[in-house]
């Protein structure tokens, strides 16, 4: 028993260090944040956004190695300014929200590139496909450590058909080309470790 007490006593400082090294968490200001997309149809740009999403962020700008991001997007919340188009996007030919209601971006590696620029490296899951993805983003910080306001903005281009977004006639990329740009703006307040 005495040996167990000694071992536990030796471990306590290391447990404290592990907790102290945890990256800060952040509270997202959703009205100021956005997940948007830009595609092309018949040569004209089509822009839209997802009205509902959640972001779970553990991020230390000074030491990003242990950081992680999980962003879950409610695909049924798509809004492109055209009701017929939005209903088509929700259908089984494109997002198929009845079967796959969420798209999930999960990054467990964040790398500082320099000058307020970072890369979040992880996976994007949409429909039944999970593929590796790198999201470059810029970061602006305001305020004092522990209560900072962060604005992160980034974008990445994916091929929609890699994720099965485009079944039947929508698999044809001559009318709706493959590339889709996804842009993310996250405004969040640091809440501590």
- How do the pLDDT tens digits run along the chain, 193 residues long? 444 444 444 444 444 444 447 899 999 999 999 999 999 998 999 999 999 999 999 999 999 989 999 999 999 999 999 999 999 999 999 999 999 999 999 999 999 999 999 999 999 999 999 999 999 999 999 999 889 999 999 999 999 999 999 999 999 999 899 999 999 999 999 997 6
Q: Burial level of 174, CB count in 10 A (0-12/13-18/19+)?
A: exposed
**What pLDDT is stored for residue 91 in this prediction?**
97
User: What pLDDT score was predicted for residue 37?
Assistant: 98
Q: For residue 164, what is the domain's CATH number?
A: 2.40.128.110
Q: How many domains does the chain have?
A: 1
Question: Using an 8 Å Cβ cutoff, are 78 and 88 in contact?
Answer: no
Q: What is the pLDDT of residue 146?
A: 87
Using an 8 Å Cβ cutoff, are 36 and 77 in contact? no
Say if CB 148 and CB 189 are below 8 A apart: yes
The verdict on residue 136 lying in a domain is yes
Q: What is the 3-state secondary structure (H, E, C) of 31-71?
A: HHCEEEEEEEECCEEEEEEECCEEEEEECCCCCHHHCEEEE
**Residue in the structure block whose two tokens are 């996976």:** 123
Residue 8 included in any domain: no
Cβ(57)–Cβ(28) below 8 Å: yes
Expressed as residue numbers, the domain containing 169 is 22-192
pTM: 0.86
């Amino acid at each position: 028993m005495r040996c167990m007490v000694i071992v536990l006593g030796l471990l306590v400082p290391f447990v404290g260090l592990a907790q102290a090294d945890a990256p800060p968490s952040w509270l997202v200001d959703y009205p100021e944040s956005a997940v948007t997309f830009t595609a092309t149809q018949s040569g004209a740009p089509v822009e839209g956004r997802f009205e509902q999403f959640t972001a779970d962020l553990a991020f230390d700008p000074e030491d990003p190695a242990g950081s992680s991001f999980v962003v879950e997007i409610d695909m049924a919340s798509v809004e492109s300014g055209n009701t017929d188009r939005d209903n088509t996007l929700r259908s089984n030919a494109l997002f198929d929200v009845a079967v796959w209601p969420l798209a999930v971006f999960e990054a467990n590696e964040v790398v500082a590139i320099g000058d307020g620029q970072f890369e979040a490296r992880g996976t994007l899951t949409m429909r039944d496909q999970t593929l590796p993805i790198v999201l470059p983003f810029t970061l602006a910080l305001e305020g004092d450590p522990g209560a900072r306001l962060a604005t992160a903005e980034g974008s990445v281009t994916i091929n929609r058909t890699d994720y099965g977004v485009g079944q039947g006639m929508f698999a044809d990329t001559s009318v709706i080309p493959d590339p889709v740009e996804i842009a993310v703006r996250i405004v969040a307040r640091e809440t501590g470790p």
